Structure 1
Amino acid sequence: MSFLKIDNVTKRYGAVEVLHRVDIDVQQGEFLVLVGPSGCGKSTLLNMIAGLEEISSGTIAIKDKPMNGVHPSKRNIAMVFQSYALYPNMTVGKNITFGLEMHGVPKEDRDRAMDKVADMLQIKPLLDRKPGQLSGGQRQRVAMGRALVRDPDVFLFDEPLSNLDAKLRVDMRTEIKKLHQRLGTTIVYVTHDQIEAMTLSTRIAVMNGGYIQQLGTPKEIYDTPNNIFVAAFMGSPSMNLLDAVIRIKGPDAAAEITDYNGHPITLPLPLPAASLAGRDGTKVVLGIRPEAITDPDGADKSAKIVVQMQNKIDVTEPAGSDTFITTTMVGKDVIGRMRADAHVNAGDIADLSINMDKAVIFDPKSEDRIV
C-alpha cells in the first residue's frame, strides 16, 4: 500500500493546464526527488501535496487518507523551503520549537525534542543565536531542525540547497542523505539539479512540461532513459546524442556514424537484429554516455562490445580525477571521459574505446527510446 499516493492529479489555472494526470506511488521511507527545468511543474506538485495549492482534479492521499481540501496544518507534513523562512526576531531554539508551541505541546516535551534534533544536526551551540547571526548552511540546518522536531508523516523539501555555495551544497547533500538513512523518513524533494537528484534519491520523477517523463531508480533513469529529454537532462556532462543509421546483417545489428573526417564508422549494437526489425537503413539517434567513450586503458574490461577507433581531439579539460575530451563525430561535438593520467592533447589523433554495451537507441521522430 502506498504511503503517499498521487492519483491522476492535474492542476489548472483558468483554462491553462500546467500539470497533466500525474500518477506517483511513494512508499514509506522512500526518498523521491522531483527534478526538471524551471517551469516544469515540480514545485506546483509539491505545493499541492503540502496543501498550499488546490488540486484541480485527481486525488492526493497520505496513509490512505485523501488530502483534497484538507488544510495544510492538518496534513502532518513538514516543509523545508529554499528561503529557510525563519523568524528573524526569534532565537534558533524558539524557531525550532515554535510550531510545537502553537500545537500546545508542553514545554518539557518541546525542549526534549529540540535537544534531540539539535544533537542530530550539530546546532546545539547555535540555539541562543538569531537567524541573522548564522551562515546559510547553519540557517538551512535550523530550517531542517524545525521540520524534524515535528515527526511528520512526510517531509517536503523545496530546492533547499539552491542558495548555498557549491562546497556547502555538497556537504548539506551528504547531511540530508545521512539523515534519511538514520531516520528512514518519507521525503519528497524538489530540485532542478540532476546531481542532487541522482545522489539523494531512491527514486526520481523527471518532469517536463507538466508531465512525468520517467519515474524510476537513479540507475534506471541514467542507464535506460525513456526519451531524448531524459537522456539529455540527466547526467553531467549529458549523454552524447548522435545521428546514426541502422545497419542489419543477418542476426547482427549496428549503428553507422562518421568520424571527424566524415568517414563511416560501424558500431555493433549489443542486441539482436530482431529488436530493430524493419529499421535497416533508417535514421536513429544513438545515445552514448561520456564515460563510455574513453582511452583504451580506461575501458571497461567486462564489457562485451568495445569498439576501437581513432579520432581527433579538439579540446581537453583536466578535472582532477578525470580528463574530459571533446571530439567530433557526425559533425557534432562529442564528450568523452578519460583517466586523469591519459596522455592526450588538443590536436592529437587519439585511440578511443567506445563501450557499446552502454548504448541506447532513440526514434528521431517520437524521441522515445527504441531499445
Structure 2
Amino acid sequence: MGFLDIDNVTKSYGTVEVLHRVDISVGEGEFLVLVGPSGCGKSTLLNMIAGLEDITSGTISINGRVVNEVHPSRRNIAMVFQSYALYPNMTVGQNMTFGLEMHGVPKAERERALKDVAQLLQIGHLLDRKPGQLSGGQRQRVAMGRALVRDPDVFLFDEPLSNLDAKLRVDMRTEIKKLHHRLGRTTVYVTHDQIEALTLSTRIAVMNKGHVQQLGTPREIYDRPANTFVASFMGNPSMNLMPARIVVRDGAPHAQVTLDGASQKLLRLGQPALAAQDGREVILGLRPEAITDEGGADSSAQLVEQVDHVVSVVEPAGADTFAAFTVGGRDVVARLRANSQPRVGAQFPFRLNMDKAVVFDPRTEARIGD
C-alpha cells in the first residue's frame, strides 16, 4: 500500500468511459509523472486526485484515508496550475498566504511560512509586487510558493511549465527537481513533454486513450518499453521501429531486415528466448543512439552489427549529427557524433548496438522475448 493509492479508478461522462480501471500506487516522497498525448486522461486523473472531478468507480486514498467524498479543501493537497491562477489584485505575498488565511492559520504562522518559502524560491524581493508586474518565470515561482506554504501531503502539478519559453522551461525543471530533493514530498506531475517526464520523475505512468500503457522507472520506460506506443512516444527522436523476421542461425536468434531493394541483413539478438520464435514476423526497435558511427559505438556492447547503407537525410544538431536511411520501407534515424561526415546519397557504415534491441509483436504491439 502506497502513500497515494489509485485503485481500479474509472471516469465516465454519460455512457462514455474516458479512464479505464487505473491502478497506481505512489510511495511516500515519490515523484510520479503522468505523461501522454492530449486527451489521454492524465489531467482528468489529476483532477480526480485533487477532488475537482468526481470518481465514477474505484477509490483514491491519501495517507491511508479514502478521499472519494472528501472536499478538495480537506484533502491536504496543493495544486499548481498551468495558468498560474494568481489573483491580479493581490500582491505576491497575499497570493501566497491567501489559502492559509482562509484556513484560519494565525498571522504569525503565515508570515513565518511566507518568509521560509520566499527564501527557498528566491522571490523575497517580489512579495510586494502584483502578478501583472512579473515575468512568466516569476509567476510560476509564485504559484509554486503558494503550494509550498501549505505544507501538504501531496503536491499536484498540471503542466506547470507549458506557458514558458524553451530555456526557462529547462531552468524551472531544474528548480522543481531541486525542490523535490530538498522537501521529499509526494508529487504527481502531469505533462505531455516526455523529456520533462524522463528528467523529473522517480516513476512514470505513460497514458493513452484512458489506459495506463506502462508504469515504471524512467530507465525501464526508455530501455524496455511495454509496447510500440510507449516506444514511439518516449524519446526524441523516438525509437526506430523496423519490420523484421526472427531467423535462428547456429541456435541463436537473429532479426532479418530488408535493406535496399531485396537485399537482406541478419542482425544478432541478445535474447535467447527469441529462438523459440523462429520464422515469426516481428517489429525490431532500436533507439537512435544505438545506431551510430564506428568511433561512437559503445565499447562495452556485446553485440554490435555493421550495416552499410545509403544515407537519405543528414541533420547537423550541434553536439550530434542525425542521419536517416531506410529499412523495410521505414525511415531509420541514427545519432552520430558531431564530427561524423555522412553524405546524402552515399554509403555509410552504421554500427548497431543490438544489446539495446527490443522486439514487438506486430499484431498486439506488445514487447516480446523476455
| Partner residue, 2:337 | 339
Q: Structure 1 stretch 349-358 or stretch 321-330: which is displaced more?
A: 321-330
Structure 1 residue 341: deviation in Å?
Answer: 1.2
Structure 1 residue 342: deviation in Å?
Answer: 1.2
Q: Distance in 1 between matches of 2:7 and 2:194?
A: 25
Matched, 1:7 2:7: yes
Q: Structure 1 stretch 255-264 or stretch 85-94: which is displaced more?
A: 255-264
| Partner residue, 2:66 | 66
The question of whether the paired residues in 1 share the 8 Å contact of 2:76 and 2:153 is answered with: yes
The question of whether the paired residues in 2 share the 8 Å contact of 1:92 and 1:131 is answered with: yes
Matched, 1:101 2:101: yes
Q: Secondary structure at the match of 1:270?
A: coil
Q: Distance in 2 between matches of 1:200 and 1:169?
A: 12
| Partner residue, 1:316 | 314
Q: Distance in 2 between matches of 1:185 and 1:318?
A: 41
Structure 1 residue 281: deviation in Å?
Answer: 1.8
Q: Distance in 1 between matches of 2:60 and 2:21?
A: 12
The question of whether the paired residues in 1 share the 8 Å contact of 2:202 and 2:217 is answered with: yes
Matched, 1:297 2:295: yes
TM-score (norm 1): 0.98
| Partner residue, 2:136 | 136
The question of whether the paired residues in 2 share the 8 Å contact of 1:260 and 1:327 is answered with: no
| Partner residue, 2:166 | 166
The question of whether the paired residues in 2 share the 8 Å contact of 1:293 and 1:354 is answered with: yes
Alpha-carbon displacement from aligned partner over 1:132-153 (angstroms, at most 9, x marks no partner): 1111111000000000000000
Q: Distance in 2 between matches of 1:201 and 1:64?
A: 23
Aligned residues: 369
Alpha-carbon displacement from aligned partner over 1:142-195 (angstroms, at most 9, x marks no partner): 000000000000000000000111111111100000100111111000000100
| Partner residue, 1:237 | 237
The question of whether the paired residues in 1 share the 8 Å contact of 2:251 and 2:275 is answered with: no
Identity %: 69
Amino acid at match of 1:304: Q
Q: Distance in 2 between matches of 1:370 and 1:276?
A: 12
Q: Structure 1 stretch 249-258 or stretch 234-243: which is displaced more?
A: 249-258
Structure 1 residue 249: deviation in Å?
Answer: 2.6
| Partner residue, 1:125 | 125
| Partner residue, 2:357 | 359
Q: Distance in 1 between matches of 2:203 and 2:50?
A: 20
Structure 1 residue 332: deviation in Å?
Answer: 1.4
The question of whether the paired residues in 2 share the 8 Å contact of 1:327 and 1:334 is answered with: yes
The question of whether the paired residues in 2 share the 8 Å contact of 1:43 and 1:190 is answered with: yes
TM-score (norm 2): 0.98
Structure 1 residue 348: deviation in Å?
Answer: 2.3
Structure 1 residue 262: deviation in Å?
Answer: 3.6
Structure 1 residue 49: deviation in Å?
Answer: 0.2
Q: Structure 1 stretch 80-89 or stretch 113-122: which is displaced more?
A: 113-122
| Partner residue, 1:269 | 269
Structure 1 residue 250: deviation in Å?
Answer: 4.0
Alpha-carbon displacement from aligned partner over 1:301-349 (angstroms, at most 9, x marks no partner): 0000000121111111111111111111112111000111112222221
| Partner residue, 2:282 | 284
Amino acid at match of 1:242: M
